[in-house]
Structure 1
Protein backbone atom coordinates (compact mmCIF):
# COMPACT_ATOMS: atom_id res chain seq x y z
CA UNK A 1 0.00 0.00 0.00
CA UNK A 2 2.97 2.27 0.52
CA UNK A 3 3.79 2.10 -3.13
CA UNK A 4 0.41 3.37 -4.26
CA UNK A 5 1.27 7.05 -4.95
CA UNK A 6 4.58 6.14 -6.53
CA UNK A 7 2.95 3.68 -8.83
CA UNK A 8 0.42 6.28 -9.94
CA UNK A 9 3.22 8.79 -10.65
CA UNK A 10 5.13 6.27 -12.71
CA UNK A 11 1.99 5.51 -14.63
CA UNK A 12 1.41 9.18 -15.48
CA UNK A 13 5.06 9.58 -16.41
CA UNK A 14 4.89 6.59 -18.79
CA UNK A 15 1.80 8.03 -20.43
CA UNK A 16 3.56 11.32 -20.94
CA UNK A 17 6.50 9.62 -22.64
CA UNK A 18 4.08 7.78 -24.89
CA UNK A 19 2.40 11.03 -25.93
CA UNK A 20 5.75 12.62 -26.65
CA UNK A 21 6.79 9.64 -28.75
CA UNK A 22 3.61 9.73 -30.84
CA UNK A 23 3.79 13.51 -31.33
CA UNK A 24 7.17 13.30 -33.09
CA UNK A 25 7.19 12.71 -36.92
CA UNK A 26 8.22 9.31 -38.24
CA UNK A 27 11.65 9.87 -39.71
CA UNK A 28 12.10 6.58 -41.57
CA UNK A 29 8.81 7.01 -43.46
CA UNK A 30 9.72 10.56 -44.61
CA UNK A 31 13.12 9.32 -45.78
CA UNK A 32 11.49 6.58 -47.85
CA UNK A 33 9.10 9.05 -49.51
CA UNK A 34 11.97 11.39 -50.30
CA UNK A 35 13.92 8.52 -51.89
CA UNK A 36 10.92 7.51 -54.00
CA UNK A 37 10.49 11.07 -55.25
CA UNK A 38 14.15 11.38 -56.17
CA UNK A 39 13.99 8.05 -58.01
CA UNK A 40 10.95 9.23 -60.03
CA UNK A 41 12.70 12.49 -60.86
CA UNK A 42 15.72 10.54 -62.10
CA UNK A 43 13.47 8.35 -64.30
CA UNK A 44 11.83 11.43 -65.84
CA UNK A 45 15.22 12.95 -66.63
CA UNK A 46 16.35 9.66 -68.20
CA UNK A 47 13.18 9.56 -70.33
CA UNK A 48 13.81 13.12 -71.48
CA UNK A 49 17.34 12.20 -72.53
CA UNK A 50 16.02 9.26 -74.64
CA UNK A 51 13.41 11.36 -76.45
CA UNK A 52 15.59 14.45 -76.82
CA UNK A 53 19.29 13.48 -76.94
CA UNK A 54 21.41 15.71 -74.85
CA UNK A 55 18.55 16.53 -72.53
CA UNK A 56 19.96 19.16 -70.30
CA UNK A 57 16.94 21.10 -69.23
CA UNK A 58 16.70 23.13 -72.46
CA UNK A 59 13.52 21.44 -73.62
CA UNK A 60 11.50 21.56 -70.40
CA UNK A 61 11.46 24.13 -67.71
CA UNK A 62 12.18 22.56 -64.30
CA UNK A 63 8.85 21.97 -62.59
CA UNK A 64 10.15 20.18 -59.50
CA UNK A 65 12.36 21.98 -57.10
CA UNK A 66 14.73 20.22 -54.81
CA UNK A 67 12.88 18.83 -51.84
CA UNK A 68 13.60 19.77 -48.27
CA UNK A 69 16.32 17.92 -46.47
CA UNK A 70 15.60 15.24 -43.91
CA UNK A 71 16.54 17.54 -41.12
CA UNK A 72 14.06 20.20 -42.28
CA UNK A 73 11.39 17.56 -42.73
CA UNK A 74 11.92 16.44 -39.18
CA UNK A 75 11.29 19.98 -38.01
CA UNK A 76 8.07 20.41 -40.11
CA UNK A 77 4.70 19.08 -39.14
CA UNK A 78 3.35 15.79 -40.51
CA UNK A 79 0.53 17.53 -42.42
CA UNK A 80 2.91 19.87 -44.23
CA UNK A 81 5.24 17.02 -45.24
CA UNK A 82 2.41 14.86 -46.66
CA UNK A 83 0.96 17.80 -48.63
CA UNK A 84 4.33 18.56 -50.19
CA UNK A 85 4.86 14.89 -51.12
CA UNK A 86 1.45 14.67 -52.82
CA UNK A 87 2.04 17.89 -54.78
CA UNK A 88 5.40 16.66 -55.99
CA UNK A 89 3.94 13.27 -56.98
CA UNK A 90 1.16 15.02 -58.97
CA UNK A 91 3.74 17.12 -60.79
CA UNK A 92 5.75 14.01 -61.63
CA UNK A 93 2.66 12.21 -62.95
CA UNK A 94 1.71 15.17 -65.14
CA UNK A 95 5.22 15.38 -66.54
CA UNK A 96 5.24 11.64 -67.23
CA UNK A 97 1.93 11.95 -69.11
CA UNK A 98 3.30 14.76 -71.28
CA UNK A 99 6.43 12.75 -71.93
CA UNK A 100 4.40 9.68 -72.93
CA UNK A 101 2.30 11.76 -75.33
CA UNK A 102 5.43 13.14 -76.94
CA UNK A 103 6.80 9.62 -77.30
CA UNK A 104 3.61 8.51 -79.09
CA UNK A 105 3.70 11.52 -81.43
CA UNK A 106 7.34 10.87 -82.26
CA UNK A 107 6.60 7.18 -82.92
CA UNK A 108 3.73 8.06 -85.25
CA UNK A 109 5.86 10.58 -87.12
CA UNK A 110 8.66 8.05 -87.54
CA UNK A 111 6.17 5.42 -88.77
CA UNK A 112 4.72 7.78 -91.40
CA UNK A 113 8.16 8.84 -92.53
CA UNK A 114 9.24 5.21 -92.85
CA UNK A 115 6.15 4.38 -94.92
CA UNK A 116 6.82 7.30 -97.29
CA UNK A 117 10.45 6.27 -97.71
CA UNK A 118 9.44 2.67 -98.47
CA UNK A 119 6.86 3.87 -101.01
CA UNK A 120 9.40 6.11 -102.71
CA UNK A 121 11.97 3.32 -102.80
CA UNK A 122 9.35 0.93 -104.25
CA UNK A 123 8.36 3.42 -106.96
CA UNK A 124 11.97 4.02 -107.84
CA UNK A 125 12.62 0.27 -108.09
CA UNK A 126 9.58 -0.25 -110.32
CA UNK A 127 10.66 2.56 -112.60
CA UNK A 128 14.15 1.14 -112.82
CA UNK A 129 12.90 -2.34 -113.63
CA UNK A 130 10.55 -0.99 -116.27
CA UNK A 131 13.06 1.23 -118.00
CA UNK A 132 16.40 -0.59 -117.79
CA UNK A 133 16.93 -3.28 -120.41
CA UNK A 134 18.91 -6.33 -119.43
CA UNK A 135 22.39 -6.52 -120.89
CA UNK A 136 22.55 -9.41 -123.36
CA UNK A 137 25.12 -12.05 -122.52
CA UNK A 138 25.86 -12.78 -126.16
CA UNK A 139 25.68 -10.53 -129.13
CA UNK A 140 22.90 -11.37 -131.57
CA UNK A 141 23.95 -12.05 -135.16
CA UNK A 142 23.29 -9.24 -137.55
CA UNK A 143 20.23 -9.86 -139.72
CA UNK A 144 20.85 -10.82 -143.27
CA UNK A 145 20.49 -8.05 -145.76
CA UNK A 146 17.33 -8.19 -147.76
CA UNK A 147 15.77 -6.12 -150.43
CA UNK A 148 12.78 -4.12 -149.28
CA UNK A 149 10.36 -3.27 -151.98
CA UNK A 150 8.76 0.08 -151.57
CA UNK A 151 5.04 -0.27 -152.24
CA UNK A 152 3.65 1.96 -154.87
CA UNK A 153 1.42 4.51 -153.15
CA UNK A 154 -2.22 4.26 -154.03
CA UNK A 155 -3.55 7.17 -155.97
CA UNK A 156 -5.29 9.75 -153.86
CA UNK A 157 -9.04 9.49 -153.88
CA UNK A 158 -10.35 11.96 -156.33
CA UNK A 159 -13.62 13.80 -156.05
CA UNK A 160 -16.50 13.48 -158.46
CA UNK A 161 -15.70 14.20 -162.04
CA UNK A 162 -16.91 17.26 -163.78
CA UNK A 163 -19.33 15.14 -165.78
CA UNK A 164 -20.88 13.68 -162.61
CA UNK A 165 -21.15 17.10 -160.99
CA UNK A 166 -22.88 18.42 -164.07
CA UNK A 167 -25.26 15.44 -164.12
CA UNK A 168 -26.18 15.88 -160.44
CA UNK A 169 -26.68 19.61 -160.92
CA UNK A 170 -29.04 18.90 -163.75
CA UNK A 171 -31.46 17.23 -161.33
CA UNK A 172 -33.58 20.03 -160.00
CA UNK A 173 -35.12 20.24 -156.58
CA UNK A 174 -38.90 20.77 -156.49
CA UNK A 175 -40.17 24.05 -155.16
CA UNK A 176 -43.66 23.63 -153.69
CA UNK A 177 -45.57 24.76 -150.62
CA UNK A 178 -44.42 21.61 -148.75
CA UNK A 179 -40.68 22.09 -148.20
CA UNK A 180 -40.30 18.71 -146.43
CA UNK A 181 -41.90 16.88 -149.34
CA UNK A 182 -39.57 18.75 -151.67
CA UNK A 183 -36.57 17.39 -149.73
CA UNK A 184 -37.85 13.82 -150.06
CA UNK A 185 -38.70 14.22 -153.74
CA UNK A 186 -35.22 15.53 -154.46
CA UNK A 187 -33.71 12.48 -152.75
CA UNK A 188 -35.98 10.22 -154.79
CA UNK A 189 -34.87 11.85 -158.02
CA UNK A 190 -31.21 11.37 -157.13
CA UNK A 191 -31.82 7.70 -156.31
CA UNK A 192 -33.85 7.13 -159.46
CA UNK A 193 -31.03 8.60 -161.52
CA UNK A 194 -28.53 6.17 -159.96
CA UNK A 195 -26.68 8.76 -157.88
CA UNK A 196 -26.77 6.62 -154.75
CA UNK A 197 -24.21 8.43 -152.55
CA UNK A 198 -25.89 11.75 -153.24
CA UNK A 199 -29.31 10.19 -152.59
CA UNK A 200 -28.06 8.74 -149.27
CA UNK A 201 -26.91 12.17 -148.15
CA UNK A 202 -30.11 13.89 -149.19
CA UNK A 203 -32.48 11.27 -147.72
CA UNK A 204 -30.54 11.16 -144.43
CA UNK A 205 -31.02 14.91 -144.15
CA UNK A 206 -34.73 14.47 -144.79
CA UNK A 207 -35.42 11.68 -142.23
CA UNK A 208 -33.43 13.46 -139.53
CA UNK A 209 -35.17 16.81 -139.96
CA UNK A 210 -38.69 15.60 -140.79
CA UNK A 211 -39.21 12.40 -138.80
CA UNK A 212 -42.89 13.31 -138.17
CA UNK A 213 -43.73 14.09 -141.79
CA UNK A 214 -46.13 11.78 -143.61
CA UNK A 215 -43.35 11.05 -146.07
CA UNK A 216 -41.04 9.79 -143.31
CA UNK A 217 -41.96 6.13 -143.90
CA UNK A 218 -41.13 6.60 -147.59
CA UNK A 219 -37.89 8.38 -146.78
CA UNK A 220 -36.54 5.69 -144.39
CA UNK A 221 -37.45 2.89 -146.80
CA UNK A 222 -35.89 4.68 -149.76
CA UNK A 223 -32.75 5.48 -147.78
CA UNK A 224 -32.34 1.77 -147.08
CA UNK A 225 -32.79 1.02 -150.77
CA UNK A 226 -30.21 3.66 -151.69
CA UNK A 227 -27.66 1.78 -149.56
CA UNK A 228 -28.80 -1.67 -150.75
CA UNK A 229 -28.63 -0.70 -154.41
CA UNK A 230 -25.16 0.74 -153.73
CA UNK A 231 -23.97 -2.68 -152.50
CA UNK A 232 -24.02 -1.67 -148.82
CA UNK A 233 -26.42 -4.21 -147.33
CA UNK A 234 -25.01 -3.81 -143.82
CA UNK A 235 -25.76 -0.07 -143.82
CA UNK A 236 -29.18 -0.64 -145.42
CA UNK A 237 -30.51 -3.20 -142.90
CA UNK A 238 -30.83 -0.84 -139.88
CA UNK A 239 -32.95 1.60 -141.88
CA UNK A 240 -35.32 -1.14 -143.08
CA UNK A 241 -35.69 -2.48 -139.55
CA UNK A 242 -36.23 0.99 -138.07
CA UNK A 243 -38.91 1.84 -140.60
CA UNK A 244 -40.78 -1.38 -139.82
CA UNK A 245 -40.50 -1.08 -136.05
CA UNK A 246 -41.25 2.65 -135.79
CA UNK A 247 -44.54 2.46 -137.70
CA UNK A 248 -45.75 -1.02 -138.63
CA UNK A 249 -48.86 0.54 -140.18
CA UNK A 250 -46.83 2.93 -142.32
CA UNK A 251 -47.25 2.95 -146.09
CA UNK A 252 -43.79 1.45 -146.63
CA UNK A 253 -43.38 -0.63 -143.45
CA UNK A 254 -44.18 -3.90 -145.31
CA UNK A 255 -41.79 -2.98 -148.10
CA UNK A 256 -39.00 -2.38 -145.56
CA UNK A 257 -39.58 -5.78 -143.93
CA UNK A 258 -39.30 -7.53 -147.30
CA UNK A 259 -36.20 -5.51 -148.20
CA UNK A 260 -34.74 -6.42 -144.81
CA UNK A 261 -34.95 -10.05 -145.89
CA UNK A 262 -33.11 -9.14 -149.09
CA UNK A 263 -30.37 -7.40 -147.08
CA UNK A 264 -29.96 -10.50 -144.89
CA UNK A 265 -29.72 -12.70 -147.98
CA UNK A 266 -27.00 -10.39 -149.35
CA UNK A 267 -25.13 -10.81 -146.04
CA UNK A 268 -25.51 -14.63 -146.15
CA UNK A 269 -27.57 -14.54 -142.96
CA UNK A 270 -30.14 -17.18 -143.86
CA UNK A 271 -31.65 -17.48 -140.40
CA UNK A 272 -32.55 -13.79 -140.14
CA UNK A 273 -33.67 -13.72 -143.76
CA UNK A 274 -36.14 -16.54 -143.06
CA UNK A 275 -37.39 -14.78 -139.93
CA UNK A 276 -38.04 -11.57 -141.89
CA UNK A 277 -39.83 -13.48 -144.70
CA UNK A 278 -42.02 -15.38 -142.25
CA UNK A 279 -42.96 -12.21 -140.39
CA UNK A 280 -43.68 -10.43 -143.66
CA UNK A 281 -46.08 -13.18 -144.80
CA UNK A 282 -47.81 -13.23 -141.40
CA UNK A 283 -48.04 -9.45 -140.86
CA UNK A 284 -48.73 -8.34 -144.43
CA UNK A 285 -50.57 -11.21 -146.19
CA UNK A 286 -52.24 -8.75 -148.57
CA UNK A 287 -48.88 -7.47 -149.80
CA UNK A 288 -47.49 -11.00 -150.04
CA UNK A 289 -50.37 -11.96 -152.32
CA UNK A 290 -50.67 -8.62 -154.06
CA UNK A 291 -48.33 -5.74 -154.87
CA UNK A 292 -45.16 -7.41 -153.53
CA UNK A 293 -46.02 -11.00 -154.50
CA UNK A 294 -43.34 -11.33 -157.19
CA UNK A 295 -40.60 -9.89 -154.99
CA UNK A 296 -41.64 -12.08 -152.04
CA UNK A 297 -41.61 -15.24 -154.16
CA UNK A 298 -38.19 -14.37 -155.60
CA UNK A 299 -36.73 -13.95 -152.13
CA UNK A 300 -38.22 -17.24 -150.96
CA UNK A 301 -36.44 -19.02 -153.81
CA UNK A 302 -33.06 -17.64 -152.72
CA UNK A 303 -33.10 -19.30 -149.27
CA UNK A 304 -34.18 -22.61 -147.80
CA UNK A 305 -36.19 -22.00 -144.63
CA UNK A 306 -37.37 -24.63 -142.15
Structure 2
Protein backbone atom coordinates (compact mmCIF):
# COMPACT_ATOMS: atom_id res chain seq x y z
CA UNK A 1 0.00 0.00 0.00
CA UNK A 2 1.38 3.41 -0.91
CA UNK A 3 1.21 6.35 1.44
CA UNK A 4 1.05 9.71 -0.17
CA UNK A 5 3.77 12.25 0.78
CA UNK A 6 1.30 14.60 2.40
CA UNK A 7 0.04 11.91 4.78
CA UNK A 8 3.66 10.90 5.62
CA UNK A 9 4.66 14.37 6.81
CA UNK A 10 1.47 14.73 8.81
CA UNK A 11 2.22 11.49 10.67
CA UNK A 12 5.86 12.53 11.18
CA UNK A 13 4.85 15.88 12.75
CA UNK A 14 2.30 14.18 14.96
CA UNK A 15 4.98 11.82 16.32
CA UNK A 16 7.47 14.66 16.98
CA UNK A 17 5.07 16.75 19.04
CA UNK A 18 4.93 14.35 22.07
CA UNK A 19 8.73 14.04 22.04
CA UNK A 20 9.24 17.82 22.18
CA UNK A 21 6.52 18.20 24.77
CA UNK A 22 8.19 15.54 26.93
CA UNK A 23 11.62 17.23 26.65
CA UNK A 24 10.13 20.61 27.41
CA UNK A 25 8.33 19.16 30.44
CA UNK A 26 11.59 17.75 31.86
CA UNK A 27 13.34 21.09 31.47
CA UNK A 28 10.47 22.92 33.16
CA UNK A 29 10.71 20.53 36.13
CA UNK A 30 14.41 21.32 36.40
CA UNK A 31 13.68 25.04 36.16
CA UNK A 32 11.02 24.87 38.88
CA UNK A 33 13.33 22.92 41.18
CA UNK A 34 16.27 25.29 40.63
CA UNK A 35 14.11 28.38 41.05
CA UNK A 36 12.83 26.97 44.36
CA UNK A 37 16.40 26.36 45.53
CA UNK A 38 17.40 29.85 44.44
CA UNK A 39 14.61 31.41 46.48
CA UNK A 40 15.69 29.43 49.54
CA UNK A 41 19.30 30.58 49.07
CA UNK A 42 18.18 34.18 48.58
CA UNK A 43 16.26 34.10 51.85
CA UNK A 44 19.47 32.89 53.54
CA UNK A 45 22.00 35.20 51.85
CA UNK A 46 20.00 38.30 50.84
CA UNK A 47 17.49 38.94 53.67
CA UNK A 48 15.95 42.38 53.39
CA UNK A 49 13.96 44.52 55.75
CA UNK A 50 10.63 43.13 56.99
CA UNK A 51 11.48 39.74 55.52
CA UNK A 52 11.46 40.96 51.93
CA UNK A 53 13.92 39.45 49.51
CA UNK A 54 16.58 41.48 47.74
CA UNK A 55 16.67 40.64 44.09
CA UNK A 56 20.08 39.34 42.90
CA UNK A 57 22.08 41.24 40.31
CA UNK A 58 21.93 38.30 37.87
CA UNK A 59 18.60 36.73 37.06
CA UNK A 60 17.50 34.15 34.59
CA UNK A 61 15.97 35.21 31.32
CA UNK A 62 12.23 35.54 31.52
CA UNK A 63 10.07 33.75 29.01
CA UNK A 64 8.27 36.14 26.66
CA UNK A 65 5.13 34.12 26.43
CA UNK A 66 3.62 30.73 26.86
CA UNK A 67 5.20 28.53 24.22
CA UNK A 68 3.75 25.23 25.38
CA UNK A 69 2.19 23.35 22.58
CA UNK A 70 4.36 25.00 19.96
CA UNK A 71 6.50 22.34 18.28
CA UNK A 72 9.65 24.42 17.91
CA UNK A 73 13.16 24.29 19.34
CA UNK A 74 13.19 27.90 20.63
CA UNK A 75 11.27 27.12 23.85
CA UNK A 76 13.64 24.31 24.82
CA UNK A 77 16.65 26.53 24.08
CA UNK A 78 15.22 29.33 26.22
CA UNK A 79 14.57 27.01 29.14
CA UNK A 80 18.04 25.50 28.85
CA UNK A 81 19.55 29.00 29.02
CA UNK A 82 17.50 29.75 32.12
CA UNK A 83 18.70 26.51 33.74
CA UNK A 84 22.32 27.40 32.98
CA UNK A 85 21.87 30.88 34.48
CA UNK A 86 20.24 29.49 37.63
CA UNK A 87 22.93 26.87 38.07
CA UNK A 88 25.62 29.55 37.71
CA UNK A 89 23.92 31.78 40.30
CA UNK A 90 23.46 28.86 42.70
CA UNK A 91 27.15 27.95 42.40
CA UNK A 92 28.19 31.57 43.04
CA UNK A 93 25.94 31.94 46.09
CA UNK A 94 27.16 28.63 47.49
CA UNK A 95 30.73 29.90 47.20
CA UNK A 96 29.80 33.13 48.99
CA UNK A 97 28.15 31.19 51.81
CA UNK A 98 31.26 29.04 52.26
CA UNK A 99 33.50 32.14 52.32
CA UNK A 100 31.29 33.84 54.91
CA UNK A 101 31.27 30.74 57.08
CA UNK A 102 35.07 30.56 56.88
CA UNK A 103 35.40 34.23 57.89
CA UNK A 104 33.00 33.72 60.79
CA UNK A 105 35.09 30.79 62.01
CA UNK A 106 38.23 32.92 61.80
CA UNK A 107 36.58 35.73 63.78
CA UNK A 108 35.35 33.29 66.42
CA UNK A 109 38.80 31.69 66.76
CA UNK A 110 40.46 35.12 66.99
CA UNK A 111 38.06 36.29 69.70
CA UNK A 112 38.55 33.06 71.65
CA UNK A 113 42.33 33.48 71.50
CA UNK A 114 42.08 37.12 72.60
CA UNK A 115 39.81 36.21 75.53
CA UNK A 116 42.15 33.40 76.59
CA UNK A 117 45.15 35.77 76.48
CA UNK A 118 43.31 38.48 78.44
CA UNK A 119 42.16 36.02 81.10
CA UNK A 120 45.71 34.71 81.45
CA UNK A 121 47.10 38.24 81.88
CA UNK A 122 44.51 39.14 84.50
CA UNK A 123 45.17 35.91 86.38
CA UNK A 124 48.92 36.55 86.28
CA UNK A 125 48.29 40.06 87.57
CA UNK A 126 46.19 38.82 90.47
CA UNK A 127 48.70 36.09 91.29
CA UNK A 128 51.53 38.61 91.17
CA UNK A 129 49.72 40.92 93.56
CA UNK A 130 49.11 38.13 96.06
CA UNK A 131 52.64 36.67 95.91
CA UNK A 132 54.67 39.79 95.19
CA UNK A 133 55.27 38.74 91.55
CA UNK A 134 56.44 41.19 88.96
CA UNK A 135 54.94 40.07 85.66
CA UNK A 136 52.24 42.23 84.08
CA UNK A 137 51.84 40.27 80.88
CA UNK A 138 51.95 36.55 80.19
CA UNK A 139 54.25 34.52 77.96
CA UNK A 140 57.58 35.40 76.36
CA UNK A 141 58.13 39.05 75.61
CA UNK A 142 59.15 40.27 72.12
CA UNK A 143 62.31 42.19 71.44
CA UNK A 144 62.44 45.52 73.33
CA UNK A 145 61.07 48.50 71.48
CA UNK A 146 63.20 51.61 71.51
CA UNK A 147 61.28 54.46 73.11
CA UNK A 148 61.83 57.59 75.10
CA UNK A 149 60.21 58.03 78.48
CA UNK A 150 57.65 60.85 78.54
CA UNK A 151 58.43 63.70 80.84
CA UNK A 152 56.74 63.35 84.21
CA UNK A 153 54.86 66.12 85.93
CA UNK A 154 54.89 66.63 89.68
CA UNK A 155 51.49 67.10 91.30
CA UNK A 156 50.31 70.67 90.90
CA UNK A 157 49.09 70.86 94.48
CA UNK A 158 51.44 70.55 97.42
CA UNK A 159 50.13 69.70 100.89
CA UNK A 160 50.40 72.57 103.34
CA UNK A 161 49.56 71.03 106.71
CA UNK A 162 50.19 72.82 109.95
CA UNK A 163 51.14 71.67 113.39
CA UNK A 164 54.07 69.72 114.76
CA UNK A 165 52.49 67.34 117.26
CA UNK A 166 53.18 63.65 116.42
CA UNK A 167 50.20 61.87 114.87
CA UNK A 168 49.18 58.33 113.96
CA UNK A 169 51.45 58.38 110.92
CA UNK A 170 53.03 54.97 110.38
CA UNK A 171 56.66 54.91 111.59
CA UNK A 172 59.35 54.36 108.97
CA UNK A 173 60.49 50.79 108.26
CA UNK A 174 63.06 49.20 110.53
CA UNK A 175 65.67 49.18 107.72
CA UNK A 176 65.90 52.96 107.88
CA UNK A 177 66.75 52.89 111.57
CA UNK A 178 69.73 50.57 111.03
CA UNK A 179 71.59 53.31 109.16
CA UNK A 180 72.18 56.23 111.55
CA UNK A 181 72.59 58.72 108.72
CA UNK A 182 69.36 57.66 107.07
CA UNK A 183 67.58 57.58 110.41
CA UNK A 184 68.54 61.20 110.85
CA UNK A 185 67.16 62.03 107.42
CA UNK A 186 63.87 60.37 108.28
CA UNK A 187 63.73 62.05 111.68
CA UNK A 188 64.22 65.41 110.00
CA UNK A 189 60.91 64.99 108.11
CA UNK A 190 58.22 66.78 110.08
CA UNK A 191 55.14 64.72 110.90
CA UNK A 192 52.00 66.83 110.46
CA UNK A 193 49.12 66.84 112.90
CA UNK A 194 45.94 68.56 111.77
CA UNK A 195 43.37 66.39 113.55
CA UNK A 196 42.67 64.40 110.39
CA UNK A 197 44.75 61.25 110.78
CA UNK A 198 44.24 60.10 107.21
CA UNK A 199 45.26 63.48 105.82
CA UNK A 200 48.28 63.60 108.10
CA UNK A 201 49.38 60.12 107.06
CA UNK A 202 49.18 61.04 103.38
CA UNK A 203 51.02 64.35 103.84
CA UNK A 204 53.79 62.67 105.80
CA UNK A 205 54.25 60.08 103.09
CA UNK A 206 54.34 62.82 100.49
CA UNK A 207 57.06 64.61 102.40
CA UNK A 208 59.09 61.41 102.57
CA UNK A 209 58.70 61.02 98.82
CA UNK A 210 59.79 64.60 98.21
CA UNK A 211 62.92 63.92 100.28
CA UNK A 212 63.60 60.89 98.04
CA UNK A 213 63.18 58.54 100.98
CA UNK A 214 61.32 56.12 98.75
CA UNK A 215 61.22 52.96 100.92
CA UNK A 216 59.85 54.95 103.85
CA UNK A 217 57.35 56.71 101.59
CA UNK A 218 56.30 53.36 100.14
CA UNK A 219 55.59 51.96 103.61
CA UNK A 220 53.64 55.08 104.52
CA UNK A 221 51.46 55.04 101.40
CA UNK A 222 50.78 51.30 101.74
CA UNK A 223 49.38 51.81 105.23
CA UNK A 224 46.77 54.40 104.23
CA UNK A 225 44.30 52.12 102.36
CA UNK A 226 44.51 49.67 105.26
CA UNK A 227 44.19 52.18 108.11
CA UNK A 228 41.82 54.61 106.37
CA UNK A 229 39.98 52.63 103.65
CA UNK A 230 37.21 55.21 103.23
CA UNK A 231 39.36 58.33 103.36
CA UNK A 232 39.30 60.75 100.44
CA UNK A 233 43.10 60.49 100.08
CA UNK A 234 43.14 56.75 99.33
CA UNK A 235 43.28 57.28 95.56
CA UNK A 236 46.15 59.75 95.95
CA UNK A 237 48.00 57.45 98.34
CA UNK A 238 47.73 54.49 95.98
CA UNK A 239 48.92 56.64 93.08
CA UNK A 240 51.86 57.98 95.09
CA UNK A 241 52.74 54.43 96.11
CA UNK A 242 53.17 53.64 92.41
CA UNK A 243 55.26 56.74 91.90
CA UNK A 244 57.51 55.91 94.85
CA UNK A 245 58.06 52.43 93.44
CA UNK A 246 58.69 53.83 89.96
CA UNK A 247 61.18 56.41 91.23
CA UNK A 248 63.02 53.79 93.30
CA UNK A 249 63.60 51.62 90.23
CA UNK A 250 60.79 49.11 90.72
CA UNK A 251 58.61 49.58 87.62
CA UNK A 252 57.25 46.03 87.87
CA UNK A 253 55.72 46.69 91.28
CA UNK A 254 54.69 50.18 90.20
CA UNK A 255 52.61 48.65 87.39
CA UNK A 256 50.60 46.69 89.95
CA UNK A 257 50.05 49.74 92.15
CA UNK A 258 48.94 51.97 89.27
CA UNK A 259 46.67 49.35 87.76
CA UNK A 260 45.12 48.51 91.13
CA UNK A 261 44.32 52.17 91.77
CA UNK A 262 42.62 52.55 88.39
CA UNK A 263 40.76 49.24 88.69
CA UNK A 264 39.46 49.66 92.24
CA UNK A 265 38.91 53.43 92.24
CA UNK A 266 38.18 54.45 88.63
CA UNK A 267 36.45 57.61 89.87
CA UNK A 268 39.20 58.53 92.30
CA UNK A 269 40.85 61.91 91.94
CA UNK A 270 44.15 60.32 90.90
CA UNK A 271 42.92 57.43 88.73
CA UNK A 272 43.86 59.31 85.55
CA UNK A 273 47.38 59.95 86.84
CA UNK A 274 47.76 56.25 87.60
CA UNK A 275 46.95 55.43 83.97
CA UNK A 276 49.44 58.05 82.81
CA UNK A 277 52.27 56.66 84.95
CA UNK A 278 51.20 53.09 84.19
CA UNK A 279 52.15 53.73 80.56
CA UNK A 280 55.55 55.02 81.67
CA UNK A 281 56.13 51.98 83.88
CA UNK A 282 55.27 49.67 80.99
CA UNK A 283 57.68 51.63 78.80
CA UNK A 284 60.50 51.08 81.30
CA UNK A 285 59.69 47.37 81.34
CA UNK A 286 59.98 47.29 77.52
CA UNK A 287 56.45 45.95 77.17
CA UNK A 288 54.94 45.66 73.67
CA UNK A 289 53.87 48.92 72.10
CA UNK A 290 50.34 47.55 71.70
CA UNK A 291 49.91 47.33 75.49
CA UNK A 292 51.26 50.83 76.07
CA UNK A 293 49.09 52.29 73.31
CA UNK A 294 46.01 50.68 74.88
CA UNK A 295 46.78 52.44 78.15
CA UNK A 296 47.11 55.79 76.39
CA UNK A 297 43.84 55.14 74.53
CA UNK A 298 42.09 54.29 77.78
CA UNK A 299 43.45 57.44 79.41
CA UNK A 300 42.30 59.80 76.66
CA UNK A 301 38.93 58.06 76.24
CA UNK A 302 37.95 57.85 79.92
CA UNK A 303 39.51 61.04 81.28
CA UNK A 304 39.65 63.55 78.40
CA UNK A 305 38.84 66.49 80.69
CA UNK A 306 41.23 65.68 83.54
CA UNK A 307 44.52 65.82 81.67
CA UNK A 308 46.73 68.81 82.42
CA UNK A 309 48.72 70.47 79.66
CA UNK A 310 51.89 68.74 80.86
CA UNK A 311 50.16 65.35 80.79
CA UNK A 312 48.73 65.98 77.32
CA UNK A 313 52.24 66.76 76.12
CA UNK A 314 53.57 63.60 77.76
CA UNK A 315 50.81 61.48 76.22
CA UNK A 316 51.51 62.91 72.75
CA UNK A 317 55.24 62.24 73.16
CA UNK A 318 54.65 58.72 74.45
CA UNK A 319 52.22 57.84 71.66
CA UNK A 320 54.69 59.11 69.08
CA UNK A 321 57.51 57.08 70.61
CA UNK A 322 55.39 53.91 70.54
CA UNK A 323 53.98 54.71 67.09
CA UNK A 324 50.43 54.42 68.37
CA UNK A 325 48.93 56.45 65.53
CA UNK A 326 45.95 58.71 65.96
The TM tier, using the shorter chain, reads: 0.3 to 0.5
User: Could you say which structure has the larger radius of gyration?
Assistant: 1
Q: Using structure 1 for the length normalisation, give the TM-score.
A: 0.46
Question: Greater relative contact order: 1 or 2 (C-alpha under 8 angstroms, separation 6 or more)?
Answer: 2
- TM-score, with normalisation over the residues of structure 2? 0.43
